[in-house]
Amino acid sequence: MKSITRKAKKMKLQLALDDIQFDDAIELAKKVSGSVDIFEMGTPFIIENGMRSVRTFSKLFPNNEILADTKIMDAGAYEAALTYIAGADDCTVMGITDDQTIKECVKTAQKYGKRLFVDTICISNPTERIPKLEALGVRNISVHVGVDQQSLGESPLSSLKKIKAASKKSCLSVAGGIKLDTVNQYRVLEPDIVIVGGGILHADDPAQAAQKLAAVVHS
């Protein structure tokens, strides 16, 4: 079992594998595994490939953390366990779901010695919700502004500021269209994990983009 602390000792880089074919994802991961700390099996990737993606990446990349972006909404204990048994180090639950589901996910993560991240998409009042989540035992929060929200002009930067101010105990990751020319704006706010998807996947040279992003994030 990989050793994972609740609070990252240094800022980490997470690669979200979303709109990419399975074999292409493996070949890309081989090129960037030295730059990336965490491989995220993105929600579209899991929908298409299932837990096969988690099992394969966990086996091929033992030195990288594997996150299953399952966005759990119900059956918390059962669904979280599926990811951990398959080899995931982390999985995600939606912050807008009911408290019982979150508590079951928290208990399951503790049972397997793994991490649970709460996804903040659509949380309307983070100032109230984040302390309640932490009271339930949540210690990892993914600040996430989705693609559809971004198209309406919402920014992960403002969400990160609000949630960072509201959080007293949690490791924070942040995602939402982050690229090389914007990563410094996030870095100065000191999240624990910076999540990049298209900024690496859709770059002309993904390996070089990952290297440059890692140099900023890890500095």
Transcribe 70-115 into DSSP letters.
Answer: EEE-S-HHHHHHHHHHHT-SEEEEETTS-HHHHHHHHHHHHHHT-E
CA distance 50 to 210: 25
Split at pLDDT 50, 70, 90, the class of 216 is: very high
Q: By the 8 A CB rule, do 146 and 95 touch?
A: no
Average pLDDT for 84-95: 98
Query: Averaged over 108-133, what is the pLDDT?
Result: 96
The stretch 75-91 carries a mean pLDDT of: 98
Residue 195: strand pairing partners: 14
Average pLDDT over residues 147-153: 70
Q: Is 212 exposed, middle or buried (0-12, 13-18, 19+ CB in 10 A)?
A: middle
Q: Where are the domains of the chain?
A: 36-203
On the question of pLDDT at 53 being above 50, the answer is yes
Q: Does pLDDT of 6 surpass 60?
A: no
CATH architecture of 36-203: Alpha-Beta Barrel (3.20)
Q: What is the mean pLDDT of residues 150-162?
A: 81
How many Cβ atoms from other residues are within 10 Å of residue 39's Cβ? 26
Mean per-residue pLDDT over the chain, rounded: 93
pTM assigned to the model: 0.93
Long-range contact set of residues 152-161: C-beta below 8 Å, sequence gap at least 24? 156/186, 157/185, 157/186, 157/189, 159/120, 159/126, 160/186, 160/189, 160/191, 161/189
- Determine the pLDDT at residue 9: 65
Q: Using DSSP bridges, classify how beta strands 115-119 and 38-41 pair: parallel, antiparallel or unpaired.
A: unpaired
Q: How many CB atoms lie within 10 A of CB 111?
A: 12
pLDDT at residue 5 greater than cutoff 50? no
Q: What whole-number distance in Å separates Cα of residue 192 and Cα of residue 135?
A: 20
Average of per-residue pLDDT across 195-202: 96
User: Residue 144's pLDDT is what?
Assistant: 85
- Using an 8 Å Cβ cutoff, are 139 and 6 in contact? yes
- Predicted pLDDT at 116: 98
Q: Measure the CA–CA gap between 72 and 97, rounded to whole angstroms.
A: 8
CA distance 48 to 37: 23
pLDDT at 80 over 70: yes
Q: Is the pLDDT of residue 155 over 60?
A: yes
Q: Residue 37 corresponds to which tokens in the numbers above?
A: 């700390």
